Amino acid sequence: MTHGSAGEAADTRRPAIAPRPGKVVAVHISYASRADQRGRRPTAPSYFLKPSSSVTGSGGTLERPAGTELLSFEGEIALVIGEPAYRVPLERAWEHVGWVTASNDVGVYDLRWADKGSNVRSKGRDGYTPLGPGLIDARTVDPGALRLRTWVNDELVQDDTTAGLIFPLAQFVADLSQHVTLETGDVILTGTPAGASVIVPGDVVEVEVDAPTAGGAPSSGRLRSTVTQGDTPFSDVGSGPKVDDAQRVDAWGSREAAGLDPEPESFRLTDELRDKLRRAPVAGLSAQLRKRGLNNVAIDGLRPNLPDAKLVGTARTLRFVPNREDLFASHGGGYNAQKRAFDAVGEGEVIVIEARGETGSGTLGDILALRARSRGAAGVVTDGGVRDFDAVAGIGLPVFSKGAHPAVLGRKHVPWDADVAVACGGATVLPGDVIVGDADGVIVIPPALVEEVADAALAQEDEDAWVAEQVAAGNPVDGLFPPNAEWRARYDRWRESR
């Protein structure tokens, strides 16, 4: 491999990268763009090993095995260990990185079913870890300002920087060194951003890592590989290739890219339906649900933080469990379930929090409320307390809760899980349920019934308004509320005349 870039002095240290490094460790998901594409964001890095026999240089070939269809590329930044690392702290970890270069974490999705996360069959084949061609001296670059780009047949398909990482590069070194000694020449593949996809025989893949803001703009140069078709079939001594549409979607990046029909459209709260629910009172919706046999849909004991608040949206759930010190230590810090939920909430969604009715600490504060508002959330429902109550109200985000409390989360709760069934204020709430709240309280509506009960509630509102006019005109309630046959006929004539 070459060192540095044109016009830059060669690295005088001896780069200890070889065709057979001692270890190649790869990170599963590390870029936010890839996590968003996959729909899951890890709270800590996870890894798998690639055999050193998979390492190759630039200019080689990538064989798609006979009988497979989903050979994929993943452009990545590779770290080459310069100084051995064992139990190094995060603040010293980058000192143990000798060089940075480009890599391509190649895999066959047809074999993932048999690997169960180990990736031995799918990513361990000879030639499936191209590295190079040049080495960038890690001492000369900011690890937070590296750029990764990938081209397929000269078309740019990946373009991201280390600013888009969920975890900083040095964290991989510090974390791995807690468990194994990273030796000189070991390689860490640091994950791929969005844009990784399927390649076919004849395709040419090129990956480049550079530091555009560093002096001399050092670059790895383009790591070039050409895809070929293998002709040796798998024998029956072990697991062979197998694919389904789920693997095709993962490999290609989307159903559309994989050439698959769109999934059947799931329930969507349209603007028209949202408007109906905003006009329908919670009491009226509750009455309609009761007529349909649903009596346990009220989230009890909550009050809005804003006068005249009306809340309409689909549920995004978050579950807290009672605080236990060891569990809070493992689940309460870092990028915990609470932070993930507020980072993931979508436009028009309502974060519904299970806090077991415990009001002895806050379940959100002004920072998280700001994050929810910036994401376009419709509001928050919690059967616990709210910190920074007035500040949250000032943000303008509707929040239904059991009131204010100044204590932090860890006094009573451990953030445990998100996007699961929760129990909030005595009601079961599933992700995707429709939540409606006003001064009377908050209710949960199953998606299949939303339009039906909204229309019925609005129709009942019209009838009740007419009845109120008759009572105000001096008519007795008996026979009018609810209307008997005579009054019903009068109402029907009135409605038809409108």
In 329-471, where do the E strands start and end? Answer: 349-354, 379-382, 399-401, 413-418, 422-424, 427-429, 434-438, 441-445
What residues contact residue 305 under an 8 Å CB cut-off, 6+ apart? 386, 389, 392, 393, 398, 399, 400, 401
Q: Which strand ranges, in their side-by-side order, compose the sheet holding 60-64?
A: 60-64, 223-229, 204-210, 147-152, 155-161
From 361, 359, 364, select the one nearest 377 (Cα to Cα).
Answer: 364
Find out whether 368 is annotated in a ligand binding site: yes
Whole-number Å distance between alpha carbons of 91 and 84: 16
Whole-number Å distance between alpha carbons of 477 and 472: 10
Query: Could you give the count of Cα atoms lying within 13 Å of 86 in the half-sphere of its Cβ?
Result: 5
From 160, 131, 138, 132, select the one nearest 93 (Cα to Cα).
Answer: 138
Find out whether 90 is annotated in a ligand binding site: no
Q: Is 88 helix (H, G, I), strand (E, B) or coil?
A: coil
Q: Is 183 helix (H, G, I), strand (E, B) or coil?
A: coil
From 409, 361, 369, select the one nearest 385 (Cα to Cα).
Answer: 361
**Cis status of the peptide bond prior to 84, with omega within 30 of 0:** no
Whole-number Å distance between alpha carbons of 450 and 194: 36
Whole-number Å distance between alpha carbons of 51 and 416: 36
Whole-number Å distance between alpha carbons of 415 and 332: 6
Query: Could you give the count of Cα atoms lying within 13 Å of 172 in the half-sphere of its Cβ?
Result: 30
Contact of 47 with 25, CB cutoff 8 Å: yes
Find out whether 366 is annotated in a ligand binding site: yes
Whole-number Å distance between alpha carbons of 486 and 470: 13
Find out whether 387 is annotated in a ligand binding site: yes
Find out whether 388 is annotated in a ligand binding site: yes
Tokens of 251: 């490999």
Whole-number Å distance between alpha carbons of 129 and 75: 10
Whole-number Å distance between alpha carbons of 393 and 196: 43
> Residues forming the annotated binding site?
365-368, 387-388
> Residues forming the annotated binding site for substrate?
365-368, 387
> Residues forming the annotated binding site for Mg(2+)?
388
